[in-house]
Structure 1
């Protein structure tokens, strides 16, 4: 094992270091509310508290680690400047810190980063930062940033696998314990690279050892779950990028070692369920969150029985959501709920076929939301891609039966993701 990995195994943030970080960042980082959620407390028959990191100046907790790291650098390093790679929130934290500390920063972001996050990064950094869009994933941007770092001798500000960054994120744990009126039974927190959970889990294990720490990551990017299963850090070959704030192919070495020891459980949440939580938070509580910010709350269903009557904290990690993604968020939520379905429908090429489909195949509350059809004169039947929204998931089985009985059924697309995404 190389020396870096050996060092990573030995590192654990100390309470003294976390308290120093809290003091260092106190003038620029908000002490965010620990607010009771009436909606979720009633739903789960528990005391559900939301740690509202979405209310930070940069709308995520990432400012804590970024500012703690950069502000702790020696003056000669600050003069050279810093560089980072980020899917959005860490970039904004670094940009904010560079502007405050008058330090030049170069920020690499994936080309797929939502425009809103790119614009916010540029706004927070102003003249002090340069944003470079390169690569399809965080890991692509990371590799390009490391090349830039070596070429120009800049200090790299890692988004999660860094001691000062971990200690900055750990200050959330101190705040929760200061703000809570009663002992905390459970903490649910999102996990991407692992910096947040490495930090807060250490604080809780020292100051509140009976609190169960639950990590939550998206099903499409289960990097920590896979690593814990293998007993070592593994790099995923492919990931689903939708939850951009938590979609990484490889967790941090330091973070893995700490989380392996401190976490009580890891939960993977489907992206569609996360989308439904985003919509619920907006419609029921007027809270705007990004996908990663909804993950902790999305995991409560998995512990519905265990948390009854308990004090539970969910960390709402960020609210940097681009409004242009709303249609996709709604679509994913409907697909996950079993309400939206796509088919290849085989229409007989005769007059009245579509009318028959609407009148005798669709249920009284079913709605066609997507329709693509091309008439083929040399065929008896013409295929159409049809999207149908149901009123109740239970209506799906009878719908398919009627389609087959009337010879309209061609193929179901929801369970064929590659074909589905190509056609719709």
Structure 2
């Protein structure tokens, strides 16, 4: 497996080159992207000497911004706006309308899809035997549409599995509804695939040809990122690890089969490492947060450590303020256990000793604040 993003460059270059040949870029170009498409557009603008403006979310990791600036040089201006790709897309389309710049869609465009389809051709050419399954990460659906277009003709027996983040599974929702559907809310963590609505063209191409559409928990994605880094020295971004993270869901069906996973990007900012580790541990059941009720007297914390914590349990987070006017006061306590099996005993001891007030891992709003 190798992280790939050249298909994004080919897709953007294919679209921009064709517009350039028709002299339709007199006012420059504009695009919206969470990362890879922006790099493709930046590369094409630099190569063809065309000014371009790239709209990206304010939350875009610094590493992605640096890559776009590096590829585009003096021909690219980056505008940060909104919290998601969809927010940036709205700004980019408004900019296109106001300035006359040509809008280069990251996935819902036939020439973009054609360029991205070149990856499918490469995979088939390099395969030494028949491909039984191919796992494809999906955000807006441009890559998946390109894969489907090529494989349906050159390798129709291959089962195509598209993979989305659980918190932004717009293709899955659309297939279940039978119509392209926009999600009201999405989880932004897998930023390269966090799209509220897949492309209309992508949906029409994919819906009748993909074998399955599955969603992967963001925590599982984090666990996969760490395993790939620690065991294989591979650095991937969350969207790039989607396809590999999905393999556990298919482990019984792919045993002994020839499979391909597309690792579609390595734009991972080192500043996200702690959050990735935290999410992975929460997913594996190794990190637990409680509101703990402490008596307002000396020695209460010592008793908690001695009588409640197991031998391998470790306090990793503690927030407490003493209230002199009350008999008890609550603290937020984060505890790391050696294995998920240790959680039951920890919780039972906490309740038996009267320390337990509530468990926070099941509260999404609170966990978002803590993470």
TM-score normalised by length of structure 2: 0.98
The residue that corresponds to 1:112 in the other structure is 59
In the alignment, structure 1 residue 342 sits paired with structure 2 residue 289: yes
Measure the CA separation in 1 of the matches of 2:226 and 2:370: 25
Do the aligned partners of 1:61 and 1:318 also contact (CA within 8 Å) in 2? Answer: no
Q: What's the counterpart of residue 73 of structure 2? A: 126
Contact 2:290 2:358 in 1 (8 A): yes
Question: Does the CA contact (< 8 Å) of 2:182 and 2:197 recur in 1?
Answer: yes
Q: Helix, strand or coil: the match of 2:204?
A: helix
Q: How does 1:25-104 map to 2 (within 5 A)?
A: 50=1, 52-54=2-4, 59=5, 61-73=7-19, 74-104=21-51
How many correspondences in the alignment? 370
Q: Is the 8 A contact 1:60 1:319 kept in 2?
A: no
Q: Report how far residue 129 of structure 1 moved.
A: 0.7
Which runs of 5 or more residues in structure 1 are unaligned? 1-49
Displacement after TM superposition at 1:79 (Å): 3.4
Given the alignment of the two structures, is residue 256 of structure 1 paired with residue 203 of structure 2, yes or no?
A: yes
Partner-residue secondary structure (3-state), 1:305:
helix
| Structure-2 residue corresponding to 1:288 | 235
**Aligned mates of 2:3, 2:226 — CA distance in 1:** 18
Matched residues in 1 for 2:269 and 2:24: separation?
Answer: 35
Which stretches in structure 2 are left out of the alignment for 5+ residues? Answer: none
* Alignment correspondent of 1:165: 112
CA distance in structure 2 between the aligned counterparts of 1:349 and 1:64, rounded to whole angstroms: 65
State how far apart, in whole Å, the 1-side matches of 2:311 and 2:228 are.
30
Aligned Cα RMSD in Å? 1.0
Residue 254 of structure 2 corresponds to residue 303 of structure 1: no
Q: What is the deviation of 1:421? A: 2.4
Report the counterpart of residue 272 of structure 2 in structure 1.
325
**Once the 2 structures are TM-superposed, how far is the Cα of residue 256 of structure 1 from its aligned partner?**
0.2
Q: Tell me the distance in 1 between the aligned counterparts of 2:353 and 2:221.
A: 37
2:362 maps to which of 408, 415, 420: 415
Alpha carbons of structure 1 residues 263 and 366: separation in structure 2 relative to 1, 3 Å = same
Could you tell me how far apart the structure 2 residues matched to 1:328 and 1:301 are?
23
Cα pair 1:60 1:320 within 8 Å, conserved: no
CA contact (8 A) 1:192 1:217 kept: yes
Q: Does 1:269 align with 2:208?
A: no
Q: Look up the match of 2:137.
A: 190
**TM-score with structure 1 length normalisation?**
0.86
Q: CA–CA distance in 1 between the matches of 2:297 and 2:287?
A: 28
| SS at 1:79 equivalent | coil
